[in-house]
């Protein structure tokens, strides 16, 4: 109940804040329209000792400098103003779009405030500053300034709470006093004001202020975010990193006349625009483009451009120094030739290095397979090897989720979490599908490219062998278990037969023998009767012993051999109504005892069924030992009725074949007889 009330109050407050923000947007839009002509007027005013209403933050030049570069004051003003307006229009559109679709929570409202105040205020508060020359009433001029002033504090809060509205870790709260200190150094007079600082100190301070907030997102990206949050945050970090680098580069390289003339445009394009674009995409369209590919291309060409410019400058500078000629066309042409020769091999090296950083070793399939093979060689069990394979694959290729699913038991061995439906690679062993390799792409909108698929197909081949080895290991363990269980059951049966059958019988014979001895002198007739009972009991006990021995292994197999024992069985089951023939080689190769017993019992059970149920006149038993021990028993009887379930005898045949790893197929058609085909391995 308390949570419901709290949510209702929060929703009510949010609704009132949206209404107030809408009113402020109307005021900001009015001030923005008014500031455009005032901004042009400010840009066309040259700063001197008598005029303070000029764009001294963006244009610290003189008419002589403009004339030197053949630039008109009006042309420069229009160029700057167009760039500022394009940037502001973009921010207006993005801010209103966020307000339309994301203002149902505080975080979306914060982003809307950021973008719209950046649009209305302009880069470095350019349009707000120009209002000073618009001759507006002081109150009308003051309100937009007060609304826009907390913009950088809102930017700090955005970095601290993006994307889930929570501030963590605890040390991230230091971002608020840091941004407040940044306000102080810009607004307070000398000697605190940053404009009086040395250039290096200014760069280090800006690096600390904005780098701290970027670092928070980097830390959370590394340790806290989900796959979707990481994809979202990549855009923010990408835009912020470009802005941070731009601040440092501009502060170092704008200490010249051209840099001073274009400072406002370069700052807008290099600092404000990347942040605005990054924030907009991160909050609205983070899944629309593949940021990893964009970052990859940006890094490749940024590094390549930097290195090639450095090489060109080094070659031209060195040759100019030794030849003592400046601006020589031949030297410049030679430098350009060196750059052209180095471009392709250098691009290949840089591309591979950055690909490995972003995508892992997907461009080095042979190396991946060699390293994976070496690591698998030292792992003892196939199960542990499968766990190692999925983890190594995920880490090597920088994939969020890799899993192996065995088709036989649907067991899943996985590493990581899948943000989407994974792609599937079949595991094939001897033309048989034995499982699947499941792989999730690196981001929600990405698909695995040809290089990824080549590596993963080779990994699937490795995994197929491991899955099959794991299956064999489990089958072996299951077989050992079955052997132990069967042995214990056989021991229990023997114990029961000996204890419950032979034991009491022998005890009875002992008592009868003692009684006969006592009656021998007193009543010989009575003693004779007891001896007769002892003889009969002994014969019964011998029959039980033969039955137990026969159950362990039919004596006929040792006395006659398998083929002769089967022929004897066929003779016993044959009668006037049923003729049984045996087709078998005269001599069989040496067979394991278990195979002989299984073959004998299977044929015995099949002939029993033929005699009892088939109503057949002919039955044929065929033995073939060319490959495996192949047994075929066929008759011309009535067959097995379709509605009749398999009985104990047929189940016994299946079980005996399965125990040895063989196969059994029983086919029957009503009125057309039955055929039992069994194949047993000979080794």
Query: Which long-range CB contacts under 8 A does 530-535 form with residues at least 24 apart?
Result: 534/509
The dihedral formed by the CA atoms of 603, 609, 614 and 618, expressed in degrees to the nearest 10: 30
- First-to-final CA distance of the chain: 74
Q: What average pLDDT does the segment 202-218 reach?
A: 85
Residue for token pair 């009875």: 508
* Beta carbons of 156 and 179 less than 8 angstroms apart: yes
> What CA–CA distance (Å, rounded) separates 153 from 183?
9
83: pLDDT strictly greater than 80: yes
What is the overall mean pLDDT for the chain? 77
5: pLDDT strictly greater than 60: yes
178: pLDDT strictly greater than 90: yes
Residue for token pair 């107030």: 20
Architecture field, domain 560-680: 2-Layer Sandwich (3.30)
> What CA–CA distance (Å, rounded) separates 166 from 480?
56
Residue 419: what pLDDT? 67
Q: Taking the domains of the chain in order of start, what are their residue ranges? A: 2-288, 365-472, 487-552, 560-680
Q: Map residue 404 onto helix, strand or coil.
A: strand
Higher per-residue confidence, 217 vs 47: 217
529: pLDDT strictly greater than 90: no
Q: What is the pLDDT of residues 261-289, one digit of tens each?
A: 677 777 888 888 888 888 887 777 665 44
Q: How confident is the model at residue 59 (pLDDT cuts 50, 70, 90)?
A: very low
Q: What is the pLDDT of residues 464-480, one digit of tens each?
A: 877 777 777 777 777 77
Is the CA virtual torsion 12, 14, 15, 20 positive or negative?
Answer: positive
Residue 468: what pLDDT? 79
Residue 327's region, left for phi above 0, alpha for psi from -120 to 50, else beta, is left
Q: What average pLDDT does the segment 223-232 reach?
A: 75
Residue count of the chain, please give it. Answer: 683
Residue 174: what pLDDT? 92
Q: Residue 398, class by beta-carbon neighbours within 10 Å (0-12 exposed, 13-18 middle, 19+ buried)? A: middle
Secondary structure letter of residue 171 according to DSSP: G
Residue 365: what pLDDT? 55
The arrangement of strands across the sheet holding 674-680 comes to: 579-583, 618-624, 629-635, 674-680, 663-668
Q: What is the pLDDT of residues 429-456, one digit of tens each?
A: 877 787 888 888 776 656 776 777 777 8
Strand 618-624 and strand 579-583: the pairing is parallel
Residue 303: what pLDDT? 64
91: pLDDT strictly greater than 80: yes
> What CA–CA distance (Å, rounded) separates 234 from 240?
10
Q: Beta-carbon neighbour count of residue 135 at 10 Å?
A: 9
636: pLDDT strictly greater than 80: yes
Q: What average pLDDT does the segment 627-645 reach?
A: 81
Q: Which fold has domain 365-472?
A: Beta-Lactamase (3.30.450)
Residue 177: what pLDDT? 93
Residue 515: what pLDDT? 76
Class of domain 487-552 as given by CATH: mainly alpha
Same fold across 365-472 and 487-552? no
Q: What is the pLDDT of residues 582-605, one digit of tens each?
A: 998 877 888 888 888 888 888 888
Residue 288: what pLDDT? 41
Residue 291: what pLDDT? 47
Residues β-bridged to residue 666? 676
Of 667, 516, 660, the closest CA to residue 601 belongs to 660
Q: What average pLDDT does the segment 47-52 reach?
A: 59
> What CA–CA distance (Å, rounded) separates 136 from 613?
113
Residue 52: what pLDDT? 56
Q: What average pLDDT does the segment 176-204 reach?
A: 86
For the whole model, what pTM was predicted? 0.50
């Amino acid at each position: 109940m308390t949570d419901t009330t709290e949510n209702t109050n929060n929703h009510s407050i949010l609704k009132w804040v949206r209404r107030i923000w809408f009113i402020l947007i109307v005021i900001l839009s009015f001030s923005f329209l008014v500031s455009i002509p005032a901004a042009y007027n400010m840009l066309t005013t040259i700063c001197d000792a008598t005029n303070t209403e000029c764009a001294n933050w963006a244009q610290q030049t003189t008419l002589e400098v403009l004339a030197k570069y053949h630039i008109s004051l009006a042309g420069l003003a229009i160029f700057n103003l167009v760039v500022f307006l394009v940037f502001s229009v973009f921010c207006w559109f993005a801010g209103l779009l966020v307000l339309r679709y994301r203002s149902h929570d505080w975080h979306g409202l914060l982003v809307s405030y950021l973008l719209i105040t950046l649009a209305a205020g302009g880069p470095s508060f350019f349009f707000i500053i120009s209002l000073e020359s618009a001759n507006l009433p002081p109150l009308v001029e003051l309100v937009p300034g007060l609304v826009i002033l907390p913009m950088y504090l809102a930017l700090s809060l955005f970095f601290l709470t993006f994307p889930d509205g929570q501030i963590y870790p605890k040390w991230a709260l230091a971002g608020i006093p840091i941004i407040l200190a940044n306000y102080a150094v810009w607004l307070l007079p000398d000697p605190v004001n940053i404009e009086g600082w040395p250039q290096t100190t200014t760069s280090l301070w800006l690096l600390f202020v904005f780098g701290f907030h970027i670092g928070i997102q980097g830390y959370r990206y590394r340790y806290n975010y989900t796959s979707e949050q990481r994809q979202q945050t990549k855009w923010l970090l990408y835009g912020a990193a470009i802005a941070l680098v731009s601040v440092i580069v501009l502060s170092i390289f704008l200490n010249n006349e051209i840099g001073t003339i274009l400072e406002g445009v370069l700052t807008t394009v290099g600092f404000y625009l990347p942040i605005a674009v990054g924030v907009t995409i991160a909050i609205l369209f983070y899944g629309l483009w593949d940021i990893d590919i964009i970052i990859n291309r940006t890094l490749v060409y940024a590094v390549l451009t930097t290195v090639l410019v450095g090489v060109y400058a080094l070659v031209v500078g060195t040759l100019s120094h030794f030849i003592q000629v400046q601006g020589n066309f031949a030297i410049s042409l030679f430098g350009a030739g060196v750059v052209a020769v180095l471009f392709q091999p250098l691009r290949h090296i840089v591309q591979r290095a950055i690909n490995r950083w972003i995508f892992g070793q997907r461009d080095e399939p042979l190396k991946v397979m060699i390293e994976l093979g070496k690591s698998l060689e030292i792992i003892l069990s196939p199960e542990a090897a499968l766990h190692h394979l999925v983890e190594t694959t995920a880490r090597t290729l920088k994939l969020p989720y890799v899993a192996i699913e065995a088709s036989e038991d649907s067991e899943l061995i996985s590493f990581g979490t899948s943000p989407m439906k994974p792609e599937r690679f079949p595991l094939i062993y001897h033309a048989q599908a034995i499982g699947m390799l499941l792989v999730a792409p690196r981001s929600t909108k990405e698909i695995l490219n040809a290089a990824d698929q080549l590596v993963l197909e080779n990994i699937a081949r490795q995994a197929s062998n491991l899955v099959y080895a794991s299956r064999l290991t489990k089958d072996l363990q299951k077989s050992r278990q079955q052997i132990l269980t069967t042995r214990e059951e056989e021991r229990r049966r023997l114990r029961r037969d000996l204890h419950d059958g032979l034991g009491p019988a022998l005890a009875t014979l002992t008592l009868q023998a003692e009684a006969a001895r006592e009656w021998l002198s007193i009543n010989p007739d009575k003693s004779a009767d007891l001896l007769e009972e002892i003889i009969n009991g002994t014969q019964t006990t011998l029959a039980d012993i033969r039955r137990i021995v026969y159950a362990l292994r039919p004596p006929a197999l040792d006395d006659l051999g398998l083929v002769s024992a089967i022929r004897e069985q066929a003779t016993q089951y044959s009668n006037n109504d049923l003729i049984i023939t045996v087709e078998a080689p005269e001599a069989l190769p040496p067979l394991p005892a278990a195979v002989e017993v299984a073959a004998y019992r299977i044929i015995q059970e099949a002939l029993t069924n033929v005699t009892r149920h088939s109503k057949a006149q002919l039955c044929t038993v065929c033995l073939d030992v060319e490959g495996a021990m192949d047994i075929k028993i066929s008759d011309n009887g009535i067959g097995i009725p379709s509605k009749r379930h398999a009985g104990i005898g047929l189940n016994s045949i299946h079980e005996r074949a399965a125990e040895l790893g063989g196969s059994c197929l029983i086919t029957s058609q009503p009125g057309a007889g039955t055929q039992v085909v069994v194949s047993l391995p000979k080794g």
